[in-house]
A = this chain, B = another copy of it.
Amino acid sequence: MPQDTVPLAGHPGDSIVPVILCGGTGSRLWPLSREGYPKQFWPLISAGTMLQETAARARGPGFAAPVVVCGEAHRFLVAEQLREAGIDGARIVLEPEARNSAAAIAAAAVLIGEETPGATLWIMAADAAVQDVPALRQALAIAAAAAGTGRIATFGIRPTMPETGYGYIEVGAPLPGVEGAQQIARFVEKPDAATAERFLQGGRHLWNSGMFVARAATLLAEIAAHAPEVLAAARGAVAEAVRDLGFVRLGPGFVSAPSVSIDTSVMERTQLAAVVPCEPGWSDVGSWSSLWDIAPKDGAGNATKGPVALLDAKRCFVRSEGILAAVIGLEDVVLVVTDDAVLACHRDRAQDVKRMVEKLKAAGQREATEHRRVYRPWGSYEGVALGTRFQVKKINVRPGGKLSLQKHYHRAEHWVVVAGTAMVERDGERILLRENESLYLPLGCVHRLENPGMIPLTLIEVQSGSYLGEDDIIRLEDTYGRV
């Protein structure tokens, strides 16, 4: 654990270690969120991405640097977004394969517990929204106090509407010795509309936010008791873990963990669960409809973002990433426009976006899972024009970024630098290209691109050849271990 942290106000002892679960795919927020670049990496509410907002909520005096658990494919995205938000010292734990929340939490608890058995963990998803951070912090102090007495404390959100998309917690008696915390009578699955309405009126049911606070030792003991196979897999994975470029790469044993949620495998079984009722303006932002719920609206109930024009629209959610979106005479419709896919959906059917994504995936549509812009350790690229024998790409290389040393058998490339400076290696020769300079890379030449400068490099690549697939690339050497 980093040494430069100070105790959280009101929390005696060690600082709190935020554990951010960052492995979701958010397919209900398609076409913005896709497997290749899911929900938690997008700015949905404010200027920061969901991950950045989440990390910022658990930062400052009293907090250790966060532990972020994510998939292999997103490791550079996580690192880059944390760096951009000024979050230092984070440990990024890579799952070889997603195994639901129990295994991810178990791995984090093992990792942290090995170093500091008494450490207190604050476990949270990377993709929820919180409007009142001070209220959340107050609840956290109570939860941490409960954790100090050996409890696993959840955050129970007081319902503001008869939501059927969340699980509920029925509160029990006050928790002795920890003011503001209560025992849990029982966990309740997602209710039907009538039950949800009853819960809202009754005042004894809270939304289960999926956030927890507990000591590492408590968590490990309870996982051992209720989900021993999960813990065994997590211990094996941490023992075999490889520290690599600042990442903690869990061992292959991780995939032997049963894919179960922490709720069903541990929380609903343990005797140690407690709940802290609170009203922090929390939402899991699980669908376009829930995003509409919390968005600012015009007089007719429309929430918009981006270049949007409305005529007699009512209670619509319209978001465009760039293309002009015009809506006439529609009510309760979600319209989301990206550069390669458009979704138009009744607001009551927002849950079915997931089904649409599955349908598109089954049909082999690239747009179901991948964006036009593709992220790489060194930056990103996107196709901007495609013909029968040519393709144009815009390539961004971050300062210090370095592509692999490579060659192609079926295409030649023309590079034009339009911003920044490029260092190009071509068949052993090193060439510096400045803005407005270009270079030709004949078919078969061995080449490498690098940004040696201090500002981002943007380059236009015109590919020409009989086959232009991404798989026509022979990697000879790679800084990021991709050879």
Contacts and interface: CB of A to CB of B under 8 A. Distances in A.
A374 interface: no
A454 interface: no
A367 B325 CA distance: 10
Interface stretch (A107-115, A176-184, A386-394): A386-394
Contacts of A389: 418-419, 435
A412 B418 CA distance: 11
A483 interface: no
B345 A327 contact: yes
Interface string A194-209: 0000000000000000
Nearest to A392: B460
Nearest to A435: B464
Of the candidates A31, A342, A385, the one having the most CB atoms from chain B within 10 angstroms of its own CB is A342
B418 A356 contact: no
B353 A341 contact: no
B341 A323 contact: yes
Contacts of A330: 333, 344-346
Contacts of A356: 309, 311, 326, 328
Given A337-B342, A342-B337, A392-B384, A329 B348 contact: yes
A49 interface: no
Contacts of A312: 349, 352
Given A392-B392, A392-B460, A309 B359 contact: yes
Contact of A311 (B325, B337, B352, B388): B352
Contacts of A340: 323-324
Contacts of A460: 385, 390, 392, 460, 462
Contacts of A344: 325-328, 330, 333, 335, 344
Given A392-B392, A419-B387, A360 B326 contact: yes
A414 interface: yes
Contacts of A388: 419
Interface in A289-343: 309, 311-312, 320, 323-330, 333, 335, 337, 339-343
A389 B436 CA distance: 10
B329 A352 contact: yes
A416 interface: yes
A355 interface: yes
Given A355-B311, A356-B328, A436-B464, A387 B418 contact: yes
A375 B312 CA distance: 34
A343 B328 contact: yes
Contacts of A352: 311-312, 328-329
Of the candidates A324, A344, A355, the one having the most CB atoms from chain B within 10 angstroms of its own CB is A344
Contacts of A309: 356, 359-360, 363, 365
A480 interface: no
Of the candidates A320, A327, A363, A460, the one having the most CB atoms from chain B within 10 angstroms of its own CB is A460
Contacts of A359: 309, 311
B418 A390 contact: yes
A458 interface: yes
Given A312-B349, A390-B418, 4 more contacts: A323-B341, A323-B342, A325-B341, A337-B342
Going nearest first, the 7 A-B pairs with the smallest beta carbon separation are A390-B418, A329-B349, A329-B346, A328-B345, A436-B464, A384-B385, A324-B341
